[in-house]
Amino acid sequence: MDNIRQRVPARPVRFLDALRLHMRNEGLAYTTERTYIQWIKRFIVFHKKRHPDEMGVPEVEHYLTHLSEERDCSVGTQRIVLNALVYLYSRFLDKPLEGLSFSQAKRPRRLPVVYSRAEIGAILSHLSGPSRLRVELLYGAGLRSAELLSLRVKDIDFGSNNIYVRSGKGNKDRTTILPQGLIPDLRRQIERVRILHEQDIVDGMGEVFLPDALARKSPNTAKELGWQYIFPASRVGPCPRTGVVRRHHLHPTALTKQIRQAVKAAGIHKPARAHAFRHSFATHLLESGYDLRTIQELLGHSDISITEIYTHVVNRGSKGVLSPMDSLNPGNDVREPSPLYLIAS
How far does the chain reach from its first CA to its final CA, in angstroms? 58
DSSP 8-state symbol, 337: P
pLDDT band at 109 (very low <50, low <70, confident <90, very high): low
Dist CA 17 CA 58 (whole Å): 25
**CA separation, residue 101 to residues 45, 90, 139 (Å):** 21, 16, 42
* 85-95 exposure pattern, b = at least 16 Cβ within 10 A, e = fewer: bebbbeebbee
Share of the chain above pLDDT 70, in %: 87
Average pLDDT on 98-122 reads 87
pLDDT band at 5 (very low <50, low <70, confident <90, very high): low
Q: What is the pLDDT of residue 143?
A: 95
Q: What is the pLDDT of residue 305?
A: 87
Segment among 104-113, 260-269, 274-283, 317-326 with least mean pLDDT: 317-326
Segment among 63-67, 256-260, 315-319 with least mean pLDDT: 315-319
Quick check: 142 and 282 in contact, CB under 8 A? yes
Q: What is the mean pLDDT of the chain?
A: 87
pLDDT in tens, 199-254: 999 999 988 888 766 777 887 888 999 999 999 999 988 876 677 888 999 999 99
Quick check: 163 and 177 in contact, CB under 8 A? yes
Share of the chain above pLDDT 90, in %: 60
CATH number of the domain located at residue range(s) 15-92 in this protein: 1.10.150.130
Beta bridge partners, 177, equal 162
**CA separation, residue 194 to residues 45, 47, 187, 211, 238 (Å):** 47, 52, 11, 21, 21
pLDDT band at 335 (very low <50, low <70, confident <90, very high): very low
Segment among 122-131, 236-245, 276-285 with least mean pLDDT: 236-245
Q: What is the pLDDT of residue 59?
A: 96
Q: List % helix, strand, coil for the chain (3-state, nearest 5).
A: 55, 5, 40
Whether residue 343 is predicted with pLDDT greater than 70 in this model: the reply is no
Average pLDDT on 15-34 reads 88
Q: What is the pLDDT of residue 338?
A: 44
Angle at Cα 236 formed by Cα 231 and Cα 239, nearest 5°? 100
Dist CA 118 CA 116 (whole Å): 5
Average pLDDT on 289-304 reads 91
Angle, helices 117-124 vs 275-287, to 10°: value is: 140
Whether residue 167 is predicted with pLDDT greater than 90 in this model: the reply is no
pLDDT in tens, 29-83: 778 889 999 999 999 999 999 999 999 999 999 999 999 999 888 888 999 999 9
CATH number of the domain located at residue range(s) 112-345 in this protein: 1.10.443.10
Q: What is the pLDDT of residue 340?
A: 41
Quick check: 132 and 124 in contact, CB under 8 A? yes
Residue 117: which of 242, 277, 338, 8 has the closest Cα? 277
Provide the residue count of the chain: 345
Would you kindly state where each structural domain of the chain is located, as residue ranges?
A: 15-92, 112-345
Which residues are annotated as catalytic?
A: 144, 169, 275, 278, 301, 310
Dist CA 334 CA 4 (whole Å): 63
Whether residue 86 is predicted with pLDDT greater than 50 in this model: the reply is yes
Q: What is the pLDDT of residue 133?
A: 97
